[in-house]
Structure 1
Amino acid sequence: MELKNKVAIVTGVSKGIGLATVKTLLEKGCKVAGWGRTNANLEHDNYYFYKTDVRNVEEVNASYDATISDLGVDIAILVNNAGLGFEGGIEKIEVNQWHQMFETNVDGIFYCSRLVIPQMKANDEGHIINISSIAGNTGIPNMAAYCATKHAVMGLSHAMYKELRNFGIKVTCVYPGSVKTNFFDKIDSVTINDGMMMPEDIASTIVHCLESQANYHHVDIEVRPLKPRK
């Protein structure tokens, strides 16, 4: 896909992978709608922020309406990045934390994707990027709830790509290992360190997938730090 002048939606844009992805897409000439609970510290003529909690379907619908009003209906790219995680044993994790993770990490992808797909089908072009985690295909002790959400993202992504591929729509699921972001602020067992990947690394992978030629489809991309610190 040629990215210049394409319209992209990115969720979870305040920092980390979301912010890095927004910046990289802007550098490529995209017009970017950033959906998030908090705006990024970013000013750019082609960046538009819409306050959105992806757990809330009404807020998602309102942000979509505002986005197409400002940028048009031809949304070519959706990066479902919004996500969070809490640490805790399966018998100790709080019920509200369980629901918050599923509502953000899984429901949010459904709420956002269902809106952009019809026009992508009409255009015979589109690319949806879902950010999972290596936790989605590797069980991690004391992270069962988070692992369950990211495994659901994998299953959802695989079903989506098989449903949509014949309409010219690509669906790619990205599984990062540890990335140096604020995600670990709530994970006491992990200390942020320089052995982790950087958000810009994940953004470059996303753009690599987006820029592939039309009949070349990245389905699953797993990325990890080469020399992770223990």
Structure 2
Amino acid sequence: MNLEGKVAVVTGVSKGIGLATVMALLEKGAIVVGWGRTAPDLQHGNFHFFECDVRYSESVQNAFDQTIARVGTHVQVLINNAGLGLSGLFEDMSLDDWHLMFETNVNGIFYCTRLVLPGMKELEEGHIINISSIAGTTGIEQMAGYCGTKHAVRGISHALYKEVRNDGVKVTCIYPGSVQTNFFDNIDSVTVNENMMRPEDIASTIMHALESHPNYHHVDIEVRPLMPKGKQRKG
């Protein structure tokens, strides 16, 4: 897809992967709309922000309506990036924390995607990118709830791409390893460090998938830091 002039919605844009993706899309000439609870520190003629909490269908509908009113056309790119993870033993996880993760990481994808799909089908062009995690392909102790949500993202992505591929719409699921973001603020066992991937690295992968040939479809992309513990001394 040639991104020049295309309308792209990115969720969770205040910082990290979301903000890096917004910047990359703007560099490609896209019209970018951010949906999130907090606006990023960004001023650009082609960037528009609408407050949105993806946990609530009414909030997503409101952001979508404002987006269409502002840009006057269909959304051609959706980056489902909003998400969070909370750690803890399975039996100690509170109901509120469990629901928060599933409402944000899973329900949010449903609420956002269902609104943009009709327009993409009408255009016979569109690309939905869902940000999962390596937690979506394996289990991690004390992260059962988060793993459950990201396994759900994988299943949703795989089912959806088979539904819409003949409509000219792509669905790509990306599984990052550790990234230097505020994701780890609520996880005491992990400290953000320079050996993790950078948000702009994930953004570059998203751009690569988006700009591929119309008949070339990235279904799953797993990315990890090459040296997660840094360069090891020999001997």
Aligned to 1:215: 215
Give the corresponding residue for 2:43: 43
How far does the alpha carbon of each residue in 1:183-222 deviate from its partner, in whole angstroms, 9 at most, with x for none? 0000001011110000000000000000000000000000
AA paired with 1:68? I
Query: CA offsets per residue over residues 155-183 of structure 1, 9 Å max, x none?
Result: 00000100000000000000000000000
Give the partner amino acid of 1:20: A
In 1: Cα distance, 2:186 partner to 2:148 partner: 18
Cα displacement (A) at 1:67: 0.2
CA distance in 2, matches of 1:83, 1:63: 17
Q: Which residue of 2 aligns with 1:31?
A: 31
Alignment of 1:194-213 (within 5 A): 194-213=194-213
Q: For residues 126-151 of structure 1, give each alpha carbon's deviation from its aligned partner in whole angstroms, at most 9, with x where no partner exists.
A: 00000000000110000000000000
3-state SS of paired residue (2:76): strand
The C-alpha deviation readout for 1:88-140, integer Å capped at 9, x for no partner, is 11111111000000000000000000000001001100000000000001100
CA distance in 2, matches of 1:185, 1:61: 29
Partner of 1:177: 177
Instruction: Give matches, 1:95-106, under 5 Å.
Output: 95-106=95-106
Structure 1 unpaired stretches of 5+ = none
Structure 2 counterparts to residues 147-158 of structure 1, below 5 A: 147-158=147-158
In the alignment, what sits opposite 1:2? Answer: 2
Q: Partner amino acid for 1:52?
A: C
CA RMSD of aligned residues (A): 0.7
**Partner in structure 1 of residue 233 of structure 2:** none
1:144 is matched with which residue? 144
Q: Give 1:115's aligned residue.
A: 115
Match of 1:12 in 2: 12
Q: Distance in 2 between matches of 1:191 and 1:24?
A: 26
SS, match of residue 83 in structure 1? coil
Q: How far apart are the structure 1 equivalents of 2:210 and 2:143?
A: 31
How many residues get paired? 230
What secondary structure sits across from 1:34 in the alignment?
strand
C-alpha contact 1:83 1:105 (8 A) present in aligned 2:
yes
Between the aligned partners of 1:14 and 1:96, the Cα distance in structure 2 is: 23
Question: Structure 2: which 5+ runs fail to align?
Answer: 231-235
Distance 1:148 1:65 in 2: 31
Q: Which one-letter code corresponds to 2:18 in the other structure?
A: G
Q: Distance in 2 between matches of 1:4 and 1:130?
A: 21
Return the alpha-carbon distance in structure 2 between the equivalents of residues 58 and 103 of structure 1.
13
SS in structure 2 at match of 1:139: coil
Partner of 2:166: 166
Q: How many angstroms apart in 1 are the aligned matches of 2:108 and 2:153?
A: 10
State the TM-score, normalized to the length of structure 1: 0.99
Distance 1:65 1:158 in 2: 27
Moved over 4 A (4+): none
